[in-house]
Amino acid sequence: MPTRLSDRVGVATAYAAGGVLIIAVTVIMSWLVWQGIGTISWDFLTTGPAPGSLEQGVAGGILPALVGTLIVIIFGMLVAIPLGLGVAIFLTEYRQPSWLAKGTDTAIDLIFGVPSVVFALFGLAIFSQGWLAWLSNPVGDAGMATAQSFFCASLMMALIGLPPVVRSSQAAIIGVPNQQREASYALGKGRLTTIRRIVVPGARPGIATGIVLGIGRIAGDTAIVWILLGGAVLQSPPDGWYLPWNLVDFLRSEGSTLTTYIYFSSPAGEGNSPGPAYGAAFVLMVVILFVNIALIRLSRRKIGKR
């Protein structure tokens, strides 16, 4: 124990902070499990909300929300991964012209720092233009669009998922040993071939980490979904939504995700039925947990490789 009083107080408060942290974690997690696990059932996961049921806090499931979360993750990352990888390669392997490199670097920082509700506003402004109505649905004949669809939400989600992909890939690409690049050049391979064959495969664990981080951010975002996918909870997905020829129509339609489902069914939303909200929160937390387990696995693999 330190001799000085100020040090003793400091150490004691640090221990207290650790204690508060442990208690808070225990309380929140056990609350979520305790409340959530009772709601979870096969029906809850595989049906949509029954008509009129959410308001009364009775039956109904979260299938549309679960599907919605999966769709914004998949389509958001489908855009974010090539974009992010491209930016990362530019920022590490090319960096010419340098003003563009600096500008892009700052742009990624800004995209990371800007709150998602601003992206939602941006999406609303741009996707409500009539010429982009093919991404959602036209409103009347005023040359406007609803700007509410899986397409719109996923495109903005791509911006949320982008910065982690860029930063993790960047770090991983820098970590690829230079000898490997030089060996490839020595064999007469061009720059692009070297990047495709040597650099990207070598950076794979880091790129994967970025992707998983991006998935976590997208799965947890509410504001974009609320504004760009519709503020209501769908009763059920349209019939046959999973059929490939219905896909475009489905992606142009409104929907919900786990986050908006929770918001909607919480006392703050219109649903006000805590039961399903707990259930959906539990499921969402399980998703986040899997994401983090994947992250830990990936970081172990990276360390193991060295």
Partner 1 sequence: MIAISAFMLIVIGAIAIFVFYTGWPSFSANGLSWFGTGDQPLDVQLGNSFLGDPETGEPSTVLNAWPAILGTLLTTGGALLLSFPFALLGAIFIAELAPKRLAAILDPIVTILAATPSVIYGLFAILVLAPRIERNLIPQEQAEQLSAVVTLTGANVLLGILVLSLMIAPLMIAIFADALRAVPIKWKEGAIALGCDEWRMTRRVSLRAIRPALVAGTTLAMGRAVGEAIALSMATGSIGFVPNPLDGYFFFLEPVRTMASSIVDYSEGFESPELKANLFAFGVILLITTAALTIGAKIASRSAERRLGGGQ
Confirm or reject binding of residue 296 to partner 1 (CB under 8 A).
yes
- Which of the stretches 58-66, 100-108, 201-209, 247-255 binds partner 1 when contact is defined by CB under 8 A? 100-108
Of the candidates 66, 77, 89, 208, which one interacts with partner 1 according to CB under 8 A?
89
- For partner 1 (CB under 8 A), the number of binding residues is 79
- Which of the stretches 27-35, 37-45, 199-207, 244-252 binds partner 1 when contact is defined by CB under 8 A? 27-35
Confirm or reject binding of residue 112 to partner 1 (CB under 8 A).
yes
Spatial contact of 119 and 159, defined as CB atoms under 8 Å apart: yes
When the beta carbons of 90 and 241 are compared against partner 1, the nearer one is 90
CA distance 195 to 185: 10
- Measuring CA to CA, how many Å separate 94 from each of 98, 186, 188, 201? 9, 19, 19, 18
Instruction: Give residues 192-221 in contact with partner 1 (rule: CB under 8 A).
Output: 216, 219-221
- Measuring CA to CA, how many Å separate 14 from each of 6, 7, 10, 25? 12, 10, 6, 17
Instruction: Give residues 37-76 in contact with partner 1 (rule: CB under 8 A).
Output: none
Confirm or reject binding of residue 86 to partner 1 (CB under 8 A).
yes
Confirm or reject binding of residue 24 to partner 1 (CB under 8 A).
yes
Confirm or reject binding of residue 223 to partner 1 (CB under 8 A).
yes
Confirm or reject binding of residue 110 to partner 1 (CB under 8 A).
yes
E strands within the chain? 138-139, 144-145
Closest to 151 measured CA to CA, from 235, 68, 85: 68
State the DSSP string of 253-273.
S----HHHHHHHHSTTSSS--
3-state secondary structure of 20: helix
- Which of the stretches 39-47, 48-56, 83-91, 241-249 binds partner 1 when contact is defined by CB under 8 A? 83-91
Phi/psi for 145 (5° steps) reads -130, 160
Confirm or reject binding of residue 289 to partner 1 (CB under 8 A).
yes
When the beta carbons of 119 and 151 are compared against partner 1, the nearer one is 119
Of the candidates 33, 90, 171, 297, which one interacts with partner 1 according to CB under 8 A?
90
CA distance 65 to 260: 8
Of the candidates 40, 50, 70, 126, which one interacts with partner 1 according to CB under 8 A?
126
Confirm or reject binding of residue 292 to partner 1 (CB under 8 A).
yes
Tell me the closest approach of the beta carbon of residue 285 to partner 1, in angstroms: 6
Of the candidates 45, 58, 125, 248, which one interacts with partner 1 according to CB under 8 A?
125
Dihedral sign, CA of 108, 113, 116, 118? Answer: negative
Instruction: Give residues 256-285 in contact with partner 1 (rule: CB under 8 A).
Output: 259, 262-263, 266-268, 274, 277-278, 281, 284-285
- Which of the stretches 58-66, 115-123, 177-185, 198-206 binds partner 1 when contact is defined by CB under 8 A? 115-123
State the DSSP string of 104-160.
HHHHHHHHHHS-HHHHHHHHHHHHTBGGGGGGS-EETTTTEE---SHHHHHHHHHHH
Of the candidates 231, 235, 286, 302, which one interacts with partner 1 according to CB under 8 A?
231
